[in-house]
Structure 1
Amino acid sequence: MTVSTRMLRNFTSPKGSRLPGKVLALALAAAVASPIAAPTPAEAQRGKLSLIRDAETEALMRDYAKPIFRAAGIARSEPEIILVNDKSFNAFVPDSRRMFINIGVLMEAETPGEVIGVIAHESGHIEGRHLVRLRAAASNAAIMSVIGTLLGAGAIAAGTASGTDGVAQGGLVTALGAGSVGQRTFLSYQRGEEAAADRAALRYLDATGQSARGMLKTFDRMAEQQLFSARYADPYAQSHPMARDRHNSLENAARNSKYFNKAEDPVLQYRHDMVRAKLIAYTSHPQSVARAYPRSDKSLAAQYARAIGAMKSRGKGAVPEIDKLIRQHPNNPYFHELKGQALLEGGDPRSAIAPFRKALSIKPNEPQFMVWLGYALVAANNPANLPEAENLLKKAIQRDPNSGVAYSQLAIAHSRQGERPQADLATAKGLMVSGDFQGAKRYAQRAQQNLKRGSPSWLQADDIVSYKPPQLERRR
């Protein structure tokens, strides 16, 4: 899911590029940001919240959530599920439109029901409007300011301000600058609200014909964690207290449901196993992956994990292992995506074009596949590819206006075609999404100097120049 620094030499000095070095550096910084990657030590010290993007994982989470959102009566707004690159078992909802879920939830959960139970519980907080009081009572509201910042940045970058239509979709970045996000005390709810969300979750599960066994298993896990001191307890256990009591109070109601003994959906279980293997492979040391998925394990999930591990260590040398996956399931778009990434990682972007194109042909509306293909077309350094790359990247941004990689590659495509104002504007939009508002203003101002005053592009640049992010509240 990532493009390593080995690929930098293919982009830093594009023939005929008019982008100055700093613009290219900024574009590359966004381009190589890993959708699945641990925060650097410096990021961790600054308390940044690291988010990930992965089409396969996001699709699974949407399918988990849709029935629950309908049962909760929040399907119309359909809260966006945002994946946090944190291996702890945690989830929270800072507003009614976003649900943050750590990848640790997926990595620890053995069944779909455990994840669905978490989604159902957090949906209970949204339906119960617990967030209004939470925001008012929070001792540190910095996270809400960050969410507001993302909302504004997403709107501006997508061109949904100043005379344009549309609704901002909120920004996703690889690392959010918000030191107080890690303060899990902010995530604590009143005990009554926790109980209400638990009961609501049971209702949603029953209404959708799903078992609450996974939810009870989650409480068991939390109760075990609470045996340790608060210093070592998992953040989810700290912010959702009294797990054993909650388990006991819900167990009878859960067991009385006619769906309690219903088996897990085999299709969802298969997809869960695949996503879990992917996350473990991308975020763990190769030796840990080998222990979790030894060669003796012939399951497709184990083969997937080992292929990803090989791609991380050998680049395009992993293609034979990935091809074995493709032969077994030729219509799995994520296997073709992995092959394209391995080739891109191995310094062969021209060969990466075909597997990315195949992935997109199987799932034609997936914006992340559009970005990957656009990236490979730009990286191939063939001028004939640039119009197609530009078109793909613009389509991807229309569907997902928060992709820093899309903006960075679009900037390079514009630059190589001699379209410097548009390159500057794309760079400015990418910087907006990443939260570098001052840098975005500088490039937007430069773009305006060479754009027709009053044109749509000029107005978008003006929105960026005029944007004022909300001020973060500081703890006293």
Structure 2
Amino acid sequence: MTYDDDCNAPRRPLQPRHGALRRASGALAVAAVAHLAFAPVPASAQGPNISIVRDAEAEQLLRDYTAPIFRAAGIASSNPEIILNNDDSFNAFVADPRRMFVNTGVIERSKTPNEVIGVLAHETGHLAGGHLVRLRDALARAQVMAALATIAGVGAIAAGAATGSHATGGAGMAALGGGMGAAQRSLLSYQRTEELSADRAALTYLERTHQSPRGLLTTLQNSADQQLFSARYADPYALSHPVARDRIAQLEQKAKQSPYWDKKDSPQLQHRHDMVRAKLMAFTEHPSRVLKAYPTSDNSQPAQYARAIVAYRTGKPRAAQQVIDALIRTEPNNPYFWELKGQAWLEAGRPREAIAPLRKSVSLAPAPGLMRIMLGQALVGANDPALLGEAIRELELGLREEPHSELGYRQLAIAHARRGDTALADLATARAMMMRGQFQEAKRYANRAQANLKRGTPAWLQADDILAYSPPNLRAR
């Protein structure tokens, strides 16, 4: 597992970062992301950068959760991306028509897969309903209302200042504030309607996929409990989401009519959920909190998984390896146990020991892109010329699946440089810098690479693409 440590939460970076997601700039961008959250996003939470978690096991679980939901919604062909955000609050949101963000807290705080699936079904309702596209129209209408109010209000304020009339100036201030408030209420009313629409769509998808809507109602109930005191005094029309108890009242009767209301998650799916839940907590929470949740008296697999991760995170690689080996004996074909074994050695500064378990994980995993990049890193870290060819092959294969991995490109640059392929090393460096948004530096390396590459080759064309790239903010000028 890796994550990009850009947010303010005191979470420990585990290894070199994969590509960062930049913070949306401007109030409009923040609103366009936050409005589709499953739960209301407090203003204090809208500022920090998003911190992306990359973990093959957790991502595969989310893909398995969403695949039938996406098919039921008719959006499977668009292949929406599910992105884990390193945030322990219970929230999920869509940022554009092809990306759904799920906080790690959704998994950590959910007792069953069905609870997570309910959240994902709700967010799928936003994707399938085109709510983000329509939000832009709603934002435009709200901005027009606000602009008209601003023109009228500022004009009255200016007139009051010119004539010395406090009444006129005060009326201008009132018009300005009232107009802005009306614009805000118009937008929030739209958002509340879309939230209820997504709830109804979620019920439809769950029934089509023969899954219980109970988890969706459970998450809404938990949200209602959190709102118990704050919502009592809140103006419901000033909330972007319906008060949770109102949402429950509108959904509960229909949900309980589902023929799948009492259907339970399979034991196998519940076990996978428990394992990923333990893993996320072990990687992202303070070790003392993890050990409190998974004490040594707990001999379950999730507890052993969590304690193995804590052991290596706290500088006890041999103790970690003992627990991981015990897990592997119970499931020798579990790719994620082998991945953890390799990662523990790699981050303990022993890359050569990491190679064999990472090779094993790659051979077993359904989507080994991230594991191939980690294997490439271990092969490069072994500092053995005989391993450089394998390192380059694994990194290139990994980057086909994970084309935005800055780490992968940096490791590829090192491998090429050690083999004396300076032009390919420069090209890989340029691509890593593109992932970081360092476009001018990327162009400098791409230009240097292209000068030493044969014209028209794939590598030359990649360098040419970098040289021709114009960042969106520059294109708009």
Residue matched to 1:72: 73
Change beyond 3 A, Cα 1:45–1:123: closer
Q: Alignment partner for residue 370 of structure 1, among 372, 397, 400?
A: 372
Q: In the alignment, is residue 325 of structure 1 matched against residue 327 of structure 2? A: yes
Q: In the alignment, is residue 268 of structure 1 matched against residue 285 of structure 2? A: no
Change beyond 3 A, Cα 1:195–1:368: same
Residues 351 and 378 of structure 2 are in contact (CA less than 8 Å); yes or no, is this contact kept in structure 1? Answer: yes
Residues 80 and 98 of structure 1 are in contact (CA less than 8 Å); yes or no, is this contact kept in structure 2? Answer: yes
SS at match of 2:95: strand
Give the deviation of 1:228 after TM superposition.
4.9
Q: In the alignment, is residue 51 of structure 1 matched against residue 57 of structure 2? A: no
Mark the structure with the bigger radius of gyration: 2
Residues 280 and 305 of structure 1 are in contact (CA less than 8 Å); yes or no, is this contact kept in structure 2? Answer: yes
Most deviating of 330-339 and 365-374: 365-374
Instruction: Return the alpha-carbon distance in structure 1 between the equivalents of residues 448 and 188 of structure 2.
Output: 42
Change beyond 3 A, Cα 1:224–1:298: same
Give the deviation of 1:363 after TM superposition.
1.9
Instruction: Return the alpha-carbon distance in structure 1 between the equivalents of residues 411 and 188 of structure 2.
Output: 37
Residue matched to 1:349: 351
Instruction: Return the alpha-carbon distance in structure 2 between the equivalents of residues 337 and 316 of structure 1.
Output: 14
Instruction: Return the alpha-carbon distance in structure 2 between the equivalents of residues 262 and 279 of structure 1.
Output: 27
Residues 96 and 131 of structure 1 are in contact (CA less than 8 Å); yes or no, is this contact kept in structure 2? Answer: yes
Give the deviation of 1:59 after TM superposition.
0.2
Change beyond 3 A, Cα 1:187–1:227: same
Residue matched to 1:12: none
Pairing of 1:249-398 with structure 2 (within 5 A): 249-317=250-318, 318-363=320-365, 365-398=367-400
Give the deviation of 1:338 after TM superposition.
0.7
Instruction: Return the alpha-carbon distance in structure 1 between the equivalents of residues 402 and 110 of structure 2.
Output: 28
SS at match of 1:99: strand
Residue matched to 1:126: 127
Pairing of 1:75-474 with structure 2 (within 5 A): 75-138=76-139, 190-229=191-230, 240-317=241-318, 318-363=320-365, 365-471=367-473
Instruction: Return the alpha-carbon distance in structure 2 between the equivalents of residues 393 and 364 of structure 1.
Output: 17
Residues 369 and 399 of structure 2 are in contact (CA less than 8 Å); yes or no, is this contact kept in structure 1? Answer: yes
Higher RCO (C-alpha under 8 Å, 6+ residues apart): 1
Give unpaired runs (5+ residues) of structure 2: 4-12, 24-44, 141-186
Change beyond 3 A, Cα 1:31–1:275: closer
Residues 80 and 99 of structure 1 are in contact (CA less than 8 Å); yes or no, is this contact kept in structure 2? Answer: yes
Residues 322 and 339 of structure 1 are in contact (CA less than 8 Å); yes or no, is this contact kept in structure 2? Answer: yes
Q: Which amino acid aligns with 1:438?
A: Q
Q: In the alignment, is residue 32 of structure 1 matched against residue 34 of structure 2? A: no
User: What RMSD over aligned residues (CA atoms) do the two structures have, in Å?
Assistant: 2.9
Give unpaired runs (5+ residues) of structure 1: 4-28, 140-185
Residues 372 and 395 of structure 2 are in contact (CA less than 8 Å); yes or no, is this contact kept in structure 1? Answer: yes
SS at match of 1:377: helix
Change beyond 3 A, Cα 1:472–1:466: closer
**CA displacement, residues 195-245 of structure 1 (integer Å, 9 cap, x when unaligned):** 111111000000101001100011011112223548xx9xxx975332111
**CA displacement, residues 48-80 of structure 1 (integer Å, 9 cap, x when unaligned):** 221111000000000000000000011111211
Change beyond 3 A, Cα 1:418–1:30: farther
Instruction: Return the alpha-carbon distance in structure 1 between the equivalents of residues 308 and 14 of structure 2.
Output: 25
Instruction: Return the alpha-carbon distance in structure 2 between the equivalents of residues 370 and 386 of structure 1.
Output: 14
Instruction: Return the alpha-carbon distance in structure 2 between the equivalents of residues 256 and 330 of structure 1.
Output: 43
TM-score (normalizing by structure 1) = 0.77
Residues 326 and 335 of structure 1 are in contact (CA less than 8 Å); yes or no, is this contact kept in structure 2? Answer: yes
Change beyond 3 A, Cα 1:382–1:286: same
Identity %: 59
Change beyond 3 A, Cα 1:387–1:239: farther
Q: Which amino acid aligns with 1:74?
A: I
Give the deviation of 1:455 after TM superposition.
2.8
Residues 35 and 53 of structure 1 are in contact (CA less than 8 Å); yes or no, is this contact kept in structure 2? Answer: no
Residues 289 and 305 of structure 1 are in contact (CA less than 8 Å); yes or no, is this contact kept in structure 2? Answer: yes
Residues 315 and 343 of structure 1 are in contact (CA less than 8 Å); yes or no, is this contact kept in structure 2? Answer: no
Give the deviation of 1:187 after TM superposition.
10
